[in-house]
Amino acid sequence: MQAHHSGSRTPLRPWRRLALFVCFTLWFTAALVAGDIRFIHDIYFDSTDGTEIHANLWEPVDVDQGNTYPAIIFVNSWAIDNNEYLVQAAKFADEGYIVFSYSSRGWGKSGGMVNVAGPRDMEDLSAGVDWLLANTNTQADNIGISGISYGGGISLLGLANEPRIKTAVAMSAWADLRESLYAGQTPRLVWGGILVGSGYLTGNMDPIIAKQYGNILTNNDIPATLAWAAERSPISYIDRINERGAPVYISQNWGDELFQPNSVIDFYQNLHVPRRLDLNPGIHATAELGGLIGIGNYIWDNAHDWFDYWLKGEDNGVMDRPPVTMVVKNRDRREEFADWPDDAERETLYLGPRGTFSNGSLDVFSNSSNRTNKIYSGILSGATTGVPVISPIFEAHLEVPIFTWVPGINRFLATCYESDRLADTMKIRGIPEVAMWITPSDNQVQLIAHLYDMDWSGTARLITHGPITLHEAVPGQTVKVDIPFVATAYDVPAGHRLVLAVDTYDQQYGPPSLEFFNVRFPHSSSRQSTLTLPIVD
């Protein structure tokens, strides 16, 4: 891959000047309260291929007396540079850390092209560790790494690839880039577009990035694209982390439609090292933002405790706390678990066909009816995940749920199943799944499954959803598809009903084609479609 050496500097765009001014103001404010620390700006170090990487350094001033300190490396988020962590870096330095933040290649003042956490980024990280050890009083055995989003992904990959890094704190990171871009063989249209578009606006993008994203959208050369993504997926290297026993703290957000939590949960479950997982309200990176400007923040407080324990050896009780926490959706209540609740009871509801004027059933007893329902492809069925980006923000931070009115869902474009009224509150914790028999009319079809909490009036709140796309279906052939929903924590109140609505389109996902199709849903005693829910007491 070609590397661009940043020997000359291009003028900063006006919005970048404004961003730098804001960052400088934040830094100045932090410096006033931080105490006896020193900030060194505009450090450059050379990576393996000669590319210049731009960095900042914070350190306690008494390093001049020969004192040594543990170190934390911060890596920038996508479309942001190393000034992102100025306030938190100052806080850590005031607490007795050497803090080194750098801009990944292709971002900010660093040279080269954006490598999307690839091999070049790993070389840059190792070169940064070399510089840190050669030029500061860093304790070589006590180096941690952290970052949000892009920086979180590089932190997990760095922990697997750079043996001198002892522990990682990853916030809003991905675990499997294949799942983030193409889970359920369904392109992430809105968030993928935001990712690629913002990259071209703010960074020096390698053309391979647009090509790979184009492959996802057009279903072209998918094996090669998924191999490219696998190389950039921490889950591909989880054995290295386990072999080292390197501790990992992960923070993820329920409404993160860019890096949905499912693969991160899978990654966490397959870690056999000291670990922690916090699941929070918010979309991509929003739960961590307050801490970046010094506002008290649950995640950043845990990050400080985590590094103090693993890099300083402080017995602060962080490892005595339950390692899994999750905030219940629309409840603002954080629950704690001794582990991921794999032992949650699995409640299976069977899908029964709908009638002329009624929804299909969700029942604990298997279906005995023999009937086929049919829907057509189209938009605006009434089943919805809300307005992309906007609705999840309102839901997470303003407590405005994503609503639909179930009687108003278009039954030509969607099919609905509803349960009886619940006798008790149902506490869903984890990943619901639908296993559904379908008969598509075309070789390319898409289904979006929505799980709702419906009250007496037919008004329903979205609990979670899940997409599936078939690219090589046999028209007219009945197949069973499995649709995992996005992980959630949700309490369905007693007296409410569960509703499963299935249609063919959602604006946040790329459709497989623009051709019309229909989907039949056969129901019979020999073909049982089911909804499985993870329930805790």
Q: What are the helix (H) ranges across 219-272?
A: 222-231, 238-244, 261-269
For the segment 296-354, what is each residue's pLDDT rounded down to a tens digit? 899 999 999 999 999 999 999 999 999 999 999 988 899 999 999 977 799 999 999 99
The pLDDT value recorded for residue 142 is 98
Token reading at 230: 């696998």
Over residues 112-136, the mean pLDDT reads 98
User: Rounded to whole angstroms, how far apart are CA atoms 69 and 139?
Assistant: 6
Task: Check pLDDT > 90 for residue 94.
Answer: yes
Q: How far is CA 506 from CA 55, 244, 293, 503, in A?
A: 41, 42, 35, 8
Taking each helix axis as running N to C, give the angle between helix 14-34 and helix 86-94, from 0 to 180 degrees, rounded to the nearest 10.
Answer: 20
Tell me the average pLDDT of the chain.
Answer: 93
User: Rounded to whole angstroms, how far apart are CA atoms 443 and 513?
Assistant: 10
Return the minimum-mean-pLDDT range out of 236-240, 393-397, 426-430, 518-522.
393-397
Q: Report the predicted TM-score, pTM, of the whole model to 2 decimal places.
A: 0.92
Query: Which domains occur in the chain, in start order?
Result: 17-321 (3.40.50.1820), 345-536 (2.60.120.260)
Q: How far is CA 478 from CA 443, 473, 527, in A?
A: 12, 9, 10
Over residues 392-417, the mean pLDDT reads 95
pLDDT band at 19 (very low <50, low <70, confident <90, very high): low
Over residues 83-100, the mean pLDDT reads 96
The pLDDT value recorded for residue 2 is 30
The pLDDT value recorded for residue 35 is 58
Residues 498, 454 contacting (CB under 8 angstroms): yes
